[in-house]
Amino acid sequence: MLPWEFSEDDLKDSLEYYPDNTIDEIRATLVAFSYSSYYVPAMALLVIYCLFVGLILADGILGCLPRRAVPRWIRAHVMEAPLATKKHHVAVGAGVIRLPLRLQSIVVGGLFLATFVPIFCFYRRANPDLYYDHAWEAHLRSLLDRTAMISTGLLPLVIVTATRRALPSVSGIDFGNAMVYHRWLARFCAIHGLIHGIGWSVSEGLRGHYKKEFKDPYWNWGCAAIAMFMGLVFLSIRQLRVKAYEVFIALHVILALFSLVTLYFHVKLIDYAAWMYFTWVVEIAAAIWGLDRLVRWINKAYLSAGTSFSQPLTQAVVTAHGSDIYRMRVHLGASKVQPLIGGQQASLLSRFRLSPINKLSAGTSVRLTIPRLQFWSDHPFTVIDAGLVNGAESQGYVDLLIRSADGMTKQLATLLQSSDDKALEAGSGTAVDRTMNVVLEGPYGHWHSSVVKHDDVLLFAGGVGITFCLPIFVQAAAQSDARCKLVWAIRDFDIVDSVADQLIRLDEVLRAAGPRSSKPKIELRVTAGEFFDKAKEEVAEGVAELKHSATDSDNALSKASSSASSTPIPSPPDEKAEYVEAKKIESSSKRLTALAARLSGSMDLVAVHGRPSKRVADHFEPHSDRTAAVIACGPASLCDDTREGAIFALRKGEWRDVEYVEECFDW
Ligand SMILES: Cc1cc2nc3c(=O)[nH]c(=O)nc-3n(C[C@H](O)[C@H](O)[C@H](O)COP(=O)(O)OP(=O)(O)OC[C@H]3O[C@@H](n4cnc5c(N)ncnc54)[C@H](O)[C@@H]3O)c2cc1C
């Protein structure tokens, strides 16, 4: 029997309560009540589920279709465009809300309408109404039933959009995208729960039963469930989340579990046929969550199992580059790794993670736990390189580049500093290695195989965002004849040092491949100013000559080195800060020049001061019969600016097609 249906037994039971009324009057009351309280919200949920399944199917199908299948103006004005201004990753409203993209907003808007319209309309009442004397009482009761059903019905969707494995295995939808829907659905779910709770409190208060209700366990479970929902929404406020992410994650999981348990008992104890379905809904939500966790644990066990009893976990070697950049090499069996160069290109279907044991490849991300530092939490990092160990074909590796922040990564820095303080002195460039056990989970995200097929490939990396951009740059340069340019905003040279080996390997591949129509170009954009501004002071002092100009970029590199080599070095300890700074400049310039010299001219490496332009036409000459890919990874503002530049080029038709891909390190 469906939730809005009733049996002849229900009718007969009602006859006992309303002996003065006819069976038709009782039936009419039951029909109107069931329609208003159960049929309308059930239909709303059906619409919401259909929308959601449609979204998953559309995302999966679109991901497999060639880009030309979707007209350019739809991509430029709907699918890839920000909602209003360029802001998408940069939060608005005092930094609290991140605006979805236009297409995401349409989906969220559709879900909003399907969720909230039933609050306001489609109410029916029988005449005579045997249950309620006043229309407002009848409507209030139906409103409370509707909000309860919709809130409970949204739960499986809230859970499935938060899963890392369950949703990507049936749809290619990426986690960042799913998070947008997760947050909005969770807010809708909590608002309905809150209306339900407040409404019942008012209703019971008016009838003078408010205090008495707290003696009923189902009421108390309901109060607890609403408290959990509100706690989840409150603690997810961006400012709180970003301040203490690990605390947020731990509390989020605990509160989510309690929400399921408390809601389950609340619904179960109502013991009414129409609600039986909703105990199933909660059970389904819990099962999705449990299954996702199980698959994640299998994945972790597969990737992190060590080679022997004495070495139960896989091992990683960490190398420090300066004071806050660490390159971690995780050793894995060759079968777990998809090499970046020479490996098979990932297929379109790789965006569907059907198996818990997918290979790790560069450009995807992993979740890393370092048990000796923080065994309870994992952190996402992008694989910057993956390959097989030379001379040991059964062994593979994945490399991560980690910038230290304030939590686990800071602990990592402290651990390494305790290994060798002197070697880590700023700017020394001396590498310190340390071996440790790690637990990995992944891959998450997918290799964007389409972007390396374009005629022009333009990449913008901000600092450690190079982890996402470099593998694409390497693939595009090594396996196609595309015009490739990587614009990399950096604060100092340490981070460039950390990828030098990878650039040198690319250089070897390019040399072996022979001449190409245009040299790949790397433009280092030094944004912090220390490096170039200091050098500029030297110019003023007549020590050396360095142009502090973006236009003179091609000469800047060699001039930087000549400037730095003659930097006067104050003697420590009196002027320690300047001494360290001067050492840093000197060392940076030398290393930059040395790296450029090792690149044998197969690609251009230039260093320029200041922020780069995000207009595509400022980097490549536009061509209406060529296609371009624009890729961004870095701070929120860099991603938003780059999207704006790519959309501009797409709308203006400067290229036949412009594909924009981003990874913002910010969920
Ligand atoms: C998909 C993705 C890929 C990333 N790739 C890289 C990379 O290649 N190299 C790199 O240096 N950084 C990367 N990051 C950022 C990196 O995950 C955080 O810097 C790291 O988790 C900080 O950990 P912490 O405990 O030291 O930082 P905290 O100081 O505690 O937090 C700093 C910030 O990091 C973020 N963060 C912290 N913990 C988590 C978590 N468990 N999950 C998600 N975000 C978290 C939060 O926004 C927080 O505000 C990536 C992030 C994402 C989402």
Mean pLDDT of 544-570: 38
553 lines ligand 1 (CB under 6 A): no
Mean pLDDT of 261-283: 89
Report how far Cα 565 is from the mean position of its chain's Cα atoms. Answer: 43
pLDDT at 152 exceeding the cut of 90: yes
368 lines ligand 1 (CB under 6 A): no
Q: Which of 83-92, 141-150, 542-551 has the lowest mean pLDDT?
A: 542-551
Q: Which of 121-130, 315-324, 552-561, 595-604 has the lowest mean pLDDT?
A: 552-561
- CA distances for 487 relative to 78, 178, 324, 484, 618, angstroms: 27, 29, 21, 10, 12
- CA distances for 401 relative to 99, 277, 318, 491, angstroms: 29, 48, 9, 16
Residue that wins the pLDDT comparison between 555 and 363 = 363
Pairing of strands 483-490, 521-526: parallel
Asked if residue 573 has a cis previous peptide bond (ω within 30° of 0), the answer is: yes
Given this model, what pLDDT does residue 530 score?
55
Gap between the Cα atoms of 347 and 172, Å rounded: 12
191 lines ligand 1 (CB under 6 A): no
Gap between the Cα atoms of 345 and 342, Å rounded: 9
Gap between the Cα atoms of 41 and 393, Å rounded: 59
Residue in 252, 444, 498, 665 to alter for ligand 1 test, most ligand atoms within 8 A of Cβ: 665
589 — pLDDT class (breaks 50, 70, 90): confident
Mean pLDDT of 341-347: 54
Site of tokens 């980097």: 619
Given this model, what pLDDT does residue 448 score?
83
Given this model, what pLDDT does residue 354 score?
55
- CA distances for 399 relative to 330, 502, 632, angstroms: 6, 10, 20
What digits encode the pLDDT tens for the residues 198-223?
999 999 999 898 899 999 999 999 99
Supply the angle between the helices 135-162 and 40-64 in degrees, to the nearest 10. 30
Q: In this predicted complex, what is the ipTM? A: 0.95
Given this model, what pLDDT does residue 193 score?
97
Given this model, what pLDDT does residue 427 score?
47
pLDDT at 56 exceeding the cut of 50: yes
Q: Please, what is the Cα angle at 589 between 421 and 610, to 5 degrees? A: 105
Mean pLDDT of 171-181: 83
Report how far Cα 614 is from the mean position of its chain's Cα atoms. Answer: 22
SS3 of 217-248:
HHHHHHHHHHHHHHHHHHHCCHHHHHHCHHHH
The beta strand positions in 298-394, using DSSP E, are 305-308, 311-321, 325-333, 337-338, 360-361, 365-369, 379-388
Residue that wins the pLDDT comparison between 601 and 304 = 304
pLDDT at 563 exceeding the cut of 90: no
Gap between the Cα atoms of 609 and 255, Å rounded: 48
667 lines ligand 1 (CB under 6 A): yes
Mean pLDDT of 227-236: 94
Given this model, what pLDDT does residue 288 score?
93
364 lines ligand 1 (CB under 6 A): no
Residue that wins the pLDDT comparison between 346 and 23 = 23
Gap between the Cα atoms of 374 and 377, Å rounded: 6
365 lines ligand 1 (CB under 6 A): yes
Which residues, other chains included, contact 83 with Cβ-Cβ below 8 Å and sequence gap of 6+?
A: 99, 100, 101, 102, 105
Answer whether 399's CB lies under 8 Å from 327's CB. yes
Gap between the Cα atoms of 602 and 328, Å rounded: 27
Burial 135-153 (b: 16+ CB within 10 A, else e): eebbebbbbbbbbbbbbbb
Tell me how far the alpha carbon of residue 410 lies from the centroid of ligand 1, in angstroms.
11
Q: Can you tell me which atom of ligand 1 is nearest the CA of 379?
A: 41
Residue that wins the pLDDT comparison between 538 and 72 = 72
Which residues, other chains included, contact 372 with Cβ-Cβ below 8 Å and sequence gap of 6+?
A: 436, 437
176 lines ligand 1 (CB under 6 A): no
Name the token pair of 430: 């001396």
Summary mean pLDDT of the chain: 85
Residue in 328, 376, 381, 415 to alter for ligand 1 test, most ligand atoms within 8 A of Cβ: 381
